[in-house]
């Protein structure tokens, strides 16, 4: 498999059902050693429930791109332009790929795509949150050039917290 066998395009409304399906598959294959079943289920509902993604796209200025492999949805990205203390950056909200496709360089291609989007938006930095126990994710982001710049614990409701590193990449 080579990098040219995946394409990244804007996600369409008609693809949302497929996105919700694949998000479950990815989360349940990747997170069981990191998060409890209850937290995975809670987070999937909070982040991917009916209306949630639509609201992000239409009201919050969040972009969703789909990752296709042989025309099949195998992953997705979501990102937006944010500003903190007068500094604008690209916030990478979601970067997911089916675990069966890890190790082929697709994740790196996805991050490169996000860099191109940031440049198009005239942004000089990409910021993301990653669970402190998500060693695979941290390793992949570090390999691309992201550095841990901070950490934060966010109350996600219902007794669940997000215990994350904040990683940054300067373009």
pLDDT tens sequence for the chain (171 residues): 454 689 999 999 889 999 999 999 999 999 999 999 999 999 999 999 989 999 999 999 999 999 999 989 999 999 999 999 999 999 999 999 999 999 999 999 999 999 999 999 999 999 999 999 999 999 999 999 999 999 999 999 999 999 999 999 999
Whole-number Å distance between alpha carbons of 135 and 45: 24
Structure tokens at 75: 């992953």
CA dihedral 10, 13, 14, 15 (to 10 degrees): 50
Look up tokens 């937006």; give the residue. Answer: 80
């Amino acid at each position: 498999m080579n990098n040219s066998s995946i394409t990244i395009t804007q996600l369409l409304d008609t693809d949302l059902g497929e996105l919700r399906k694949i998000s479950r598959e990815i989360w349940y294959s990747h997170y069981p050693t990191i998060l409890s079943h209850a937290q995975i289920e809670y987070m999937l509902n909070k982040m991917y429930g009916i209306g949630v993604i639509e609201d992000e796209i239409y009201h919050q200025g969040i972009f969703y791109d789909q990752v296709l492999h042989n025309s099949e949805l195998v992953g997705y990205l979501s990102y937006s332009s944010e500003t903190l203390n007068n500094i604008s950056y690209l916030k990478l909200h979601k970067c997911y790929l089916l675990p069966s496709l890890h190790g082929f360089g697709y994740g790196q291609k996805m991050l490169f795509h996000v860099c191109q989007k940031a440049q198009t938006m005239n942004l000089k930095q990409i910021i993301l949150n990653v669970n402190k126990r998500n060693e695979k994710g941290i390793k992949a982001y570090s390999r691309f050039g992201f550095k841990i710049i901070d950490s934060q614990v966010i109350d996600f409701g219902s007794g669940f917290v997000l215990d994350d590193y904040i990683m940054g990449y300067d373009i």
